[in-house]
A and B are shown apart, each in its own frame.
Chain A
């Protein structure tokens, strides 16, 4: 597709369960980012992938969060043993080379609700 695609668009889960969120970046984009937006908050950086370099995981809030990017394209964000405070919109973005002054193209996000 032409834009960043995220699935599912909505996910409701029970506390303690694991969830996987998927991101398909724009074809050819080498940089991929995960952000989340909790209610009333700004966009919180989680993790950044750039080509074959080691990802910048400095924004992951706990070791329950992990992400991988297979083949330099699709990325999966996994949250283990979900907690209610994990409820947020999880946004994925990509940029063509990850140059620091490039604009990011965002997907529509996954609304995660932990009951």
Chain B
């Protein structure tokens, strides 16, 4: 049973436009959410995170929105750049656990 779901395996966006990556979760005990970015043949790298006590966190071109009632979070990238082309993983954790639960990832392609 998948606790973290990324229902879009891929997304294609034009350079300069907004990219919106979505993530749904089922476990209401999750209290921290993270996004990781992965380039081919490299390990994932941390991008941005949000605590469940917030509904928005912004870092430069990246903003994460959390809707706890809908158990949904999204990552907005604006403006999108070709270098943003990668696989984006959503992850969630519970305060009592030492590991992250990851989604299957969404492959973002930003076209010049």
Task: Report which A residues bind B (CB closer than 8 A).
Answer: 4, 31, 33, 35, 40-45, 48, 50, 56, 59, 91, 93, 98, 100-101, 103-109
Which residues of chain A are within 8 angstroms of B45 by Cβ–Cβ distance?
106
Rounded to whole angstroms, the CA-CA distance of A106 and B42 in the bound complex is 9
Say whether A4 contacts B100, CB under 8 Å: no
A99 nearest CB neighbor, chain B only: B98
- Which residue in B42, B46, B105 is a CB contact (below 8 Å) of A104? B46
Q: Nearest Cβ in chain B — how far from A75, in angstroms?
A: 15
Rounded to whole angstroms, the CA-CA distance of A35 and B91 in the bound complex is 13
Say whether B99 contacts A45, CB under 8 Å: yes
Rounded to whole angstroms, the CA-CA distance of A100 and B95 in the bound complex is 6
Q: Nearest Cβ in chain A — how far from B73, in angstroms?
A: 15
Say whether A103 contacts B34, CB under 8 Å: yes
With A104-B46, A106-B43, A106-B45 in contact, do A40 and B95 touch (Cβ < 8 Å)?
no
B98 nearest CB neighbor, chain A only: A48
Say whether A101 contacts B93, CB under 8 Å: yes
Say whether B101 contacts A106, CB under 8 Å: no
Q: How many A-B residue pairs have CB under 8 A?
A: 61
Within 8 A of A (CB), among B27-48: 32, 34, 36, 41-46
**Most chain-B Cβ atoms within 10 A of its Cβ — which of A4, A31, A43, A59?**
A43
Which residues of chain A are within 8 angstroms of B104 by Cβ–Cβ distance?
40-42
Say whether A59 contacts B43, CB under 8 Å: no
Rounded to whole angstroms, the CA-CA distance of A42 and B6 in the bound complex is 9
Say whether B101 contacts A45, CB under 8 Å: yes
Given contacts A44-B102, A101-B51, 13 further A-B contacts (CB under 8 A): A31-B98, A42-B4, A42-B89, A42-B105, A43-B44, A48-B98, A50-B98, A91-B43, A91-B44, A100-B93, A101-B49, A103-B46, A106-B45
Rounded to whole angstroms, the CA-CA distance of A54 and B91 in the bound complex is 24
15 contacts between A and B (CB under 8 A): A41-B104, A42-B102, A44-B102, A45-B99, A45-B101, A45-B102, A50-B98, A100-B32, A100-B93, A100-B95, A103-B49, A104-B46, A105-B46, A106-B43, A108-B41
Which residues of chain B are within 8 angstroms of A43 by Cβ–Cβ distance?
44, 89, 91, 100, 102
